[in-house]
Amino acid sequence: MKPAVLFVDDEPQILDTLKDIFSNFYTVYTAENAQKGLDYLGKFSIQVVVSDQRMPGMTGTEFLKICKDKYPDTVRILVTGFSDLDLIIETINTGDIFRFISKPWKIEKLKETIDLAVQLYDQVKAVKQKTDPAKPASQVQTVVPVTPRPSGLHRKQHLLFVDENQVQISNYQELFAQDYIVHSATSAEKAFEALAQFPVAVLICEAQIGETDGIDFISVIRDDYPNVVPILLTDIKDIELAVRLINEGRIFRYFIKPYRKEHFYSEMEKAVAQHLNYLNRPELNIRKIEDDLISPKEDKKPQTLSESLKMTRDRLNRRVGY
């Protein structure tokens, strides 16, 4: 049985082209707007959703957010012909999408990306059914409920802030020290050492850490510490950076300085809850499942940050698709 893929785009000629190209490989559904796409999702079992962004009535970001909430097992891909930085940041922070693809897309790379998305869907579904066979995969609990300031739940969880600015480090200490154990590092090397010493729940870092690329560093953390939840907090607003955060770094949140303290604190609680989810159900860490599908890791354990950076970059360079 072919996997089912839903394409959502308000341009009929694009939908016709996609259906002609991909019908040989998938069961293809096409929808001219987000509402029709939701109707299809309610009627059929669909593994992958590929949505355009600019559509009348409901944007792709809004559509995929609903899709995530109502049909969390679907793997979501956003396509756009517009370089809208705020859109990309919103997608990172709310949409939980698998890939962000800029038009014009390449057929071969798009197919590779969809094939990988189907594999991810099948792998996650199989793991869910294995861990709780009495329930349908969509009903297996994968997220730890978030309760504001829970007593004892994550009061002693460890946060690691990586920033060269000592004033910023002091601000983080002031905001979080009452409820968390706060660590700080002024370089990627020191952060790497701290991760080896402490059970860090959430890593918060800059886009550039000295001479180290922040996205490469986040990718290293994903490889070496898959239970750590990464957040980017930076004053850099850059489209290429944001796309890499989705397609390579897969961070939990992308925050632009200056931040609102109340919002930052509440999002930190969600990040810690995600970390606890990974600890309680490591087999359902979708980030790790995706990484293993893209490129299995070598058995050799890197001893230094430079070794980890090289191994991670080599692995990312072997990826297929977007």
The encoded tokens of residue 198 equal 């402490």
Q: Give dist(CA 321, CA 8) in Å, integer.
A: 20
Contact 78, 64 (CB under 8 A): yes
Q: How far apart are CA 264 and CA 184, in angstroms?
A: 17
CB 108 within 8 A of CB 317: no
The CATH architecture to which 4-135 belongs is: 3-Layer(aba) Sandwich (3.40)
Phi, psi values for residue 20, rounded to 5°: -60, -40
pLDDT recorded at residue 144? 44
DSSP E strands in 106-199: the ranges are: 158-162, 181-185
**pLDDT given for residue 311 in this prediction:** 83
Q: Which residue has the tokens 């997608």?
A: 91
Tokens of 117: 């998305």
Find the helix packing angle between 286-294 and 107-131, rounded to 10°: 130
Cα 243 to Cα 314: distance, rounded to the nearest angstrom = 19
Paired sense of beta strands 253-256 and 27-31, if any: unpaired
Query: Looking at domain 158-317, what is its CATH homologous superfamily?
Result: Response regulator (3.40.50.2300)
Residues in the chain: 322
Q: Provide CB contacts within 8 A for 127, sequence distance 6+.
A: 283, 284, 289
E-state strands within the chain? 4-8, 27-31, 48-52, 75-80, 99-102, 158-162, 181-185, 200-205, 208-209, 212-213, 229-234, 253-256
What are the extents of the domains in the chain? 4-135, 158-317
- Specify the DSSP class assigned to residue 310: H
Is 158-317 in the same CATH topology as 4-135? Answer: yes
pTM of the model: 0.82
Block means of pLDDT (10 residues each) for the chain, 322 residues, are 95 95 96 96 96 90 91 92 75 80 89 94 86 56 46 70 92 94 95 95 93 89 90 85 78 88 94 92 80 68 82 77 80
